[in-house]
Amino acid sequence: MGRCENFTEALAAIAVEAGLEVLLDGERLDAFLPDFIPKAKIERNILKNAFALEIPEKIAAAKSEPEFERIIIITRYVKSLEVNYAVSKRHSETTLWALAEALGWEKRPPPEAPPEQAADAGAAQGRISPLYQTAELQTAQSSMAAQTGQQIAGQSVEAENMCKIAEKLFESGDYEGSAHWYQKAAELGYAEAQCEFALFCENGQGTEKDPEQALYWYTKAAEQGLVEAQFQTGWCYRGSQDMTPDSEQAVYWFTKAAEQGHAFAQTVLSLSLYEGKGDGRDMEQAVYWGHKGAEQGNAFAQALLGNYYYYGSIVERDEEQAVYWYTKSAEQGDAQAQRQLGNCYFNGEGVEQDAEQAVYWYTKAAEHGNAEAQLKLGNCYDYGKGVERDAEQAVYWYTKAAEQNHAGSQLALGQCYQYGIGVEQNAEWAVYWYAKAAEQGNAKAQCNLGVCYFNGEGVEQDTELAVYWNTKAADQGDARAQCNLGDYYYFGNGVEQDYAYAASLYGKAAEQRDAEAQHNLGVCYRFGEGVEQDYEIAVYWYGKAAEQGYSESQFNLGICYENGTGVQEDERQALQWFLKSAAQGHEKAINAVKRYKR
């Protein structure tokens, strides 16, 4: 007959037309082969022998398994033909389909053309596949309309079966085989397969990672109305998988999915509209879709809606509504909502203040790895809020968050090492964690690191680096750093001496109620250093610092009252300030008190 092109295809034809049992018998197989392929074309004797020797074992194993397990076994075997015997993928697929049918799995015929077109197609191809020869002759349609319907139905059934194979292969860990069959079904226009294959392309699982192909197949499925594909298409356009963001397309596809009730699409659509994606900010629609997602039980939507109400950015602030939605989300395990709910209990916002409940929710979020909650929980243990004070537990949670590169926790951990709180004092480790936080722009850590460099604590003394880090912090408005930097310019440490600039820095910090800066600014006005001398202003700033308990200012204020400098002379007021300062151990104030007692 000579109607097959190669040995592998001949085996497939024999399996269908003569029965699978023929393949179990080497002699019968040899007898059948010449009817399906010329001897001149019988290739790879080693392949023939391997097939004849191995297939009985494979078929015996397959027959004892459930239907799709049989297909998996045969699929793996046929795939080994490609790998071990260099059989082309097209030919090994032909064998796969034939063996699958012979083992009892029904395969629908491919799309058919009218008889005259089929004949033309057969002539053009030089052959008619033995898999479909009988079916094609029997099912040709007289009506093109009827034929079109059958064509679509046939493709659908075939694609569904391909997806079943792909699913089984995936479950067995054969991702490459799974991706292959999903792609085959996707190419037949099957939306579910297009979406699944897109996921393989997106993750590079079973096939080469290709974000553009992922978007292509997601879009194909999305255009057919598959809601998950619509969401994923929007997600790609939002900027995932290294794709260039396109906010209008993202919002378009999120809207499509949201309108079909996709809860996460509704949530992300809400967030996108809040952020002003697409046609711009639409607060009313952002809240609308946030409610839609939240009411379906989406934890992220509930947390997002809680934020809307908590911060009052797009709706009227409503702390009770915020607590309501945070609780809904937190009870589903959303760490961000758990942390926010902890904040509400800690501060008494929308709920009665309850530090123990705050600790409960901080702990939940912290155990989920939320770094901000870990810091908050560390603070609770550090200061004994809602839980018994435990410095070691504080260090534990600070460390957890610091290792996640959380700058605030790195600062707190640095302070623990600097002062030996909950851990053995270690200046070098303090510098290490301060530096970590400082490099992320944490102003307090920058200030502390600068002080370490100035004092040579945990690091070699370096006044220039002290100036550098305090400048970084001062530029961010950190009062302590502004005061430190004022000192450097006042005394010329690491920089050229500059009283005027020192006084301006003291002034910035003094306005933020930094007591030392208020005192230093008073000194500048007292002696006219960097500013015009003004005793009354000096007294004003001494008074501000003295009221905060700054002993040096208390003593200086006593002197001013004693001598009537910048203020009316008043010995009683002078003595009161000397006593306050002396109570803190100020030596000059102690001597002044003794002088009054004589």
Comparing CA positions, the residue from 418, 420, 450, 414 lying closest to residue 432 is 414
Q: Considering only CA atoms, give the Rg of the chain.
A: 40
CA distance 255 to 289: 9
- For the chain, what is the mean pLDDT? 83
- The last residue of one of the domains, among 53, 75, 107, is 107
Asked whether 397 and 378 are in contact (CB, 8 A), the reply is yes
Over residues 211-232, the mean pLDDT reads 95
pLDDT tier for residue 521 given thresholds of 50, 70 and 90: very high
- pLDDT of 39 above 90: no
Asked whether 364 and 343 are in contact (CB, 8 A), the reply is no
Question: Cβ neighbours of residue 421 under 8 Å, at least 6 residues apart?
Answer: 382, 391, 394, 395, 415
Asked whether 281 and 274 are in contact (CB, 8 A), the reply is yes
Percent of the chain scored above 90 by pLDDT? 65
Joined together, the tokens standing for residue 580 give 């306050």
| CATH number of 553's domain | 1.25.40.10
Task: For residue range 532-561, list pLDDT tens digits in order.
Answer: 999 999 999 999 999 999 999 999 999 999
Residue 90 lies in a domain: yes
- The last residue of one of the domains, among 46, 77, 107, is 107
Over residues 126-144, the mean pLDDT reads 31
Task: Give the pLDDT of residue 35.
Answer: 75
Question: Cβ neighbours of residue 257 under 8 Å, at least 6 residues apart?
Answer: 227, 228, 230, 231, 234, 265
pLDDT tier for residue 596 given thresholds of 50, 70 and 90: confident
pLDDT tier for residue 147 given thresholds of 50, 70 and 90: very low
Question: Cβ neighbours of residue 216 under 8 Å, at least 6 residues apart?
Answer: 198
Residue 88 lies in a domain: yes
Task: For residue range 472-515, list pLDDT tens digits in order.
Answer: 999 999 999 999 999 999 999 999 999 999 999 999 999 999 99
- pLDDT of 195 above 60: yes
Q: Is the model more confident about 308 or about 13?
A: 308
Task: Give the pLDDT of residue 67.
Answer: 47
Specify the 3-state DSSP secondary structure of 76.
helix
Residue 153 lies in a domain: no
Task: For residue range 417-471, list pLDDT tens digits in order.
Answer: 999 999 999 999 999 999 999 999 999 999 999 999 999 999 999 999 999 999 9
Joined together, the tokens standing for residue 236 give 């790609």
Task: Give the pLDDT of residue 36.
Answer: 73
Comparing CA positions, the residue from 587, 522, 598 lying closest to residue 551 is 587
Q: How many domains does the chain have?
A: 2
Joined together, the tokens standing for residue 18 give 């003569």
225 DSSP assignment:
T
Q: Is the model more confident about 205 or about 376?
A: 376
**Which has the minimum average pLDDT: 188-197, 241-250, 500-509?**
241-250
CA distance 521 to 511: 10
Question: Cβ neighbours of residue 172 under 8 Å, at least 6 residues apart?
Answer: 72
Joined together, the tokens standing for residue 181 give 């069959």
Asked whether 86 and 92 are in contact (CB, 8 A), the reply is no
Asked whether 318 and 332 are in contact (CB, 8 A), the reply is no
Separation in Å, CA 530 to CA 82, 316, 381: 87, 49, 45
Matching residue, tokens 């109570």:
583
Matching residue, tokens 């711009």:
280
- pLDDT of 297 above 90: yes
Task: Give the pLDDT of residue 525.
Answer: 98
Task: For residue range 76-124, list pLDDT tens digits in order.
Answer: 555 554 444 444 444 455 555 555 554 444 443 433 444 444 344 333 3
CA distance 443 to 5: 76
Comparing CA positions, the residue from 82, 83, 104 lying closest to residue 93 is 82
Task: Give the pLDDT of residue 145.
Answer: 37
Residue 538 lies in a domain: yes
Task: For residue range 559-584, list pLDDT tens digits in order.
Answer: 999 999 999 999 999 999 999 999 99
Matching residue, tokens 């109305």:
225
- The last residue of one of the domains, among 90, 107, 124, is 107
pLDDT tier for residue 44 given thresholds of 50, 70 and 90: very low
Asked whether 552 and 586 are in contact (CB, 8 A), the reply is yes
Joined together, the tokens standing for residue 189 give 């226009």
Task: For residue range 380-407, list pLDDT tens digits in order.
Answer: 999 999 999 999 999 999 999 999 999 9
Task: Give the pLDDT of residue 52.
Answer: 43
CA distance 542 to 555: 9
Residue 38 lies in a domain: yes
Residue 130 lies in a domain: no
Residue 317 lies in a domain: no
Task: Give the pLDDT of residue 132.
Answer: 27
pLDDT tier for residue 1 given thresholds of 50, 70 and 90: very low
**Which has the minimum average pLDDT: 9-13, 20-24, 28-32, 38-42?**
38-42
Residue 486 lies in a domain: no
SS3 content of the chain, % helix, strand, coil (to 5): 75, 0, 25
pTM of the model: 0.71
Task: Give the pLDDT of residue 426.
Answer: 97
- The dihedral formed by the CA atoms of 131, 133, 136 and 137, expressed in degrees to the nearest 10: -160
CA distance 136 to 252: 44
Helix extents (H) in 172-226: 175-187, 191-203, 211-223
Task: For residue range 255-293, list pLDDT tens digits in order.
Answer: 999 999 999 999 999 999 998 875 666 789 999 999 999
Tell me the residue range of the domain where 541 lies: 495-598
